[in-house]
Amino acid sequence: MAETLLSFGVEKLWSLLVRKTDRFKELDKQLTELKSDLNLLKSLKNADAKKDASSLVKNCVEEIKEIVFDAEDIVETFILKEEVRKTSGIKKHMRRLSFITVDRREIASELKGISKRISKVIRDDIQSFGENVKKLVGYLVEEEIIQVVSICGMGGIGKTTLARQVFNHEMVRKHFDGVVWVCVSQQFTRKYVWGTILQRLGSEFDEDKVSNMTEDQLQDNLFLLLETRNSLIILDDMWKLLGQSWKVVLTSRNKGVALHADPTCIIFKPASLTPEEKYKVNKEMEETGKQMIKHCGSLPLAIKVLGGLLASQYTLQEWKRVHDNIGAFLVGGNSFNGRNISSVYHVLHLSFEELPIYLKHCFLYLTHFSEDHAIDVDKLSYYWAAEEIPKRMYYNGASIRDIADGYIEEMVKRNMVISERDAHTSRFETCQLHDMMREVCLLKAEEENFLQIVHDTSTAEAKSRRLAIYRPDAELFRPMGEMKNPKLRSLMFITNKNEALISITLSIGWLQSSQRQLMRVLDLSGVRFGVGDTKLPSSIGNLIHLRYLSLYEAHVSHLPSSTWNLKLLLYLNLNVTASSPVYVPNVFEEMRELTFLALPLPSYLSIYNSSEGCSMEILSSSLSELNHLKNLTIDYSNGEQKWRLYMPRLLDVQHLPSHLTTITLQNCCLKEDPMPILGKLLHLKEVDLKCQSYCRRKMVCSGGSFTQLQKLWLFALNEWEEWIVEEGSMPLTLEITNCKKLKELPDGLRFIIFLKELYILLMESKREWKEKLSRGGEDYYKV
């Protein structure tokens, strides 16, 4: 069964608590209670999937989701405030940190309130089982001989609900020294089950300690723990232990596996299918497929989505399950939020329900964007990362962008998203939703309260944790009013990529509100803060959870010193609209997680405490500490101000972030060849030198440089005449566009055996270039 949004939230909170155990030593009691409550919530993993069938269950699930999100906010805020407090010993920072107070009594009270809310939901919303609970508690508390109690029955009969009430029973809690809930399910490992029990029963066994133990060590420690403590262990959703006699059923292709476990075991070999039976199974699958296709209403999109859904289902039983799920919607008269819709939409809806949990979040995030919007996958990847949709354990050395490409590819294979890999970059640059699939996405987002889309912010009352504001057609939007929502995590202003940015006036008071503290994503592209206001308010520093901040084309001239507090930023775009320097505090070295940074040209970037603006030395020292930075853009594109631009040389390689994968330079007028420096960046995959970024005649790419480079784009370098390329220094894709003085390709290009694509565009003397590079031409041997 597909994972649910509820279980995702619970697991995320559990991971946060376990990972940061050392931070909560003075809040031990409250955290222990919260962990215990989370164990209860884990047992509701199937409730979310069944909420369509019961409004009672649906209300319960929605309430628990809110509780889990609130708990996550409380815990993470506490951790972040502690971190900021610990790094603020210098007196000069104390004033800017005055808003941060870590009141442990207040945190303890809030956590206690969370536990009470969980208990109330479980008590009020789940029907009591009366006599059954009483009997089970009696077995556990009064019968010393009984060590194993099995609750058996068909799916949906209430086994988990009954066990949960026993788990939470007052007599059980008093009788046992420790009570543990472990959700086993079909896919589990012995080490996982033993490690989970050990970790939750013994406070001295943290996650790192347990993960480094062998199975033998786990077994020995668990045995000692159970010998010395009176414990109750509930194993929910067991599949391989049958009855009360602890018999084990093993399935394996290798007979030796079973004999190794027990030499006296019975080896049972099911008979293989006869040719007639195989034909019958194939025929049944064909008939089942035809019945499902009828629900697609001859719509190609629905048929393709159904095909993508069935592509990973290999057995007749799995096909029948998909068929029955479609039928259940139709027979039950199910609808989206009370709206009756056709069977075609139910096929599309089922494709969403079958997604793994991380893809459900990724898919729902696409509702932020308007119909036919070409969604920028690069920005989308940082939106996802800012809300921690990809867990860090998924990265395994891959970049945020790599993970996003993988997610997009999965959704493309399922025919839920429209996108193609770019021929030059081999990446998904943009993606879109089919209009019918977007309808499903919108309906599910509304059902999950995942996102609120507004067109008129003056009257909007934000209820969701995410808010998307669509740009109006008017030249200037009305100022945003006070949208009171202390739980808001994401705010974006949406406009189509091919449209000019429309200025929106945002009330400074809106950002100054203390209710914005939980924001993770803040995209202020094209925003202005009223007439004469060009300073970002100092209250931006209160947003200590912020991971994504874009001021692209925003009317901002000053960033406050309080941005020092934004230590979790992954993405920062400071390419503001300005005809005068943008003043930025020297805080980059504090943003150790920063992965993407876009800056205006240094001559238009003034670092605080520098009377001469931003010198190369100041910028170098600020950037050199950013070990995670992978994408750096330095740009100034205002044609009327070109005479003021001056950037004589690139930063020295030792001062550039070592993990950069992409660098774009535009209108920089470099007087020194940047290639010797760029070629030493070992992780660099893409280099774009555009629009007079280099203003000298000669460029040299030394042998052995650019070891990982995939794409080099040289555009509008008007002074460039001569290029020397040595062996082993070229990318997979090379594009030269509108470089008027360059007359020929370098001779060394013929030694570059890995070059796959070469584009020569908009050059002077097009015919001459074509003749030279055509078969038999004087430069043909170079390519």
Tell me if 81 sits within 8 A of 100, measured CB to CB: yes
Q: Which of 73-82, 151-160, 416-425, 656-665 has the lowest mean pLDDT?
A: 151-160
Q: Packing angle between helix 377-386 and helix 357-365, nearest 10 degrees?
A: 120
**pLDDT at residue 278 in the model:** 52
**pLDDT at residue 3 in the model:** 45
> What is the C-alpha separation between 53 and 333, in angstroms, rounded?
10
- pTM for the full model? 0.61
Q: Which of 273-287, 672-686, 756-770 has the lowest mean pLDDT?
A: 273-287
**pLDDT at residue 424 in the model:** 72
Paired strand residues for 234: 181
Q: Which of 166-180, 376-390, 424-438 has the lowest mean pLDDT?
A: 166-180
Side-chain-side CA neighbours of 364 within 13 Å: the count stands at 25
**pLDDT at residue 299 in the model:** 60
Residue 39's H or E segment, with its range, is helix 28-42
> What is the C-alpha separation between 602 and 224, in angstroms, rounded?
64
What is the pLDDT averaged over residues 151-174?
Answer: 70
> What is the C-alpha separation between 554 and 530, in angstroms, rounded?
12
> What is the C-alpha separation between 730 and 88, in angstroms, rounded?
46
Domain coordinates in residue numbering, the chain: 1-126, 176-264, 285-354, 355-448, 449-711
**pLDDT at residue 522 in the model:** 93
Helices assigned H by DSSP within 332-399: 343-353, 357-365, 377-386
**pLDDT at residue 217 in the model:** 86
Answer CATH for 449-711 from 3.90.1150.10, 3.40.50.1460, 3.80.10.10, 1.10.357.10:
3.80.10.10
What is the pLDDT averaged over residues 27-40?
Answer: 60
pLDDT tens digit string along 292-327?
776 666 566 666 666 766 666 656 666 666 666 655
> What is the C-alpha separation between 165 and 140, in angstroms, rounded?
13
Rg value, the chain, Cα: 30
> What is the C-alpha separation between 43 and 235, in angstroms, rounded?
10
Q: How many CB atoms lie within 10 A of CB 41?
A: 26
The percentage of the chain sitting over the pLDDT mark of 70, rounded to a whole number, equals 55
Report how many helices (DSSP H) and strands (DSSP E) the chain contains, helices first. 24, 25
Distances (CA, A) of 653 to 2, 181, 639, 650, 726: 47, 53, 29, 9, 20
pLDDT tens digit string along 605-647?
555 544 344 445 556 666 666 666 767 766 544 433 222 234 5
Structure tokens at 596: 């993407």
Tell me if 448 sits within 8 A of 465, measured CB to CB: no
Answer CATH for 355-448 from 3.60.21.10, 1.10.10.10, 3.40.50.970, 3.40.190.10:
1.10.10.10
Residue 497 phi/psi, 5° resolution? -60, -30
Sign for the CA dihedral angle at 740, 741, 743, 745 comes to negative
Structure tokens at 15: 């991971």
Q: Which of 297-311, 322-336, 362-376 has the lowest mean pLDDT?
A: 322-336
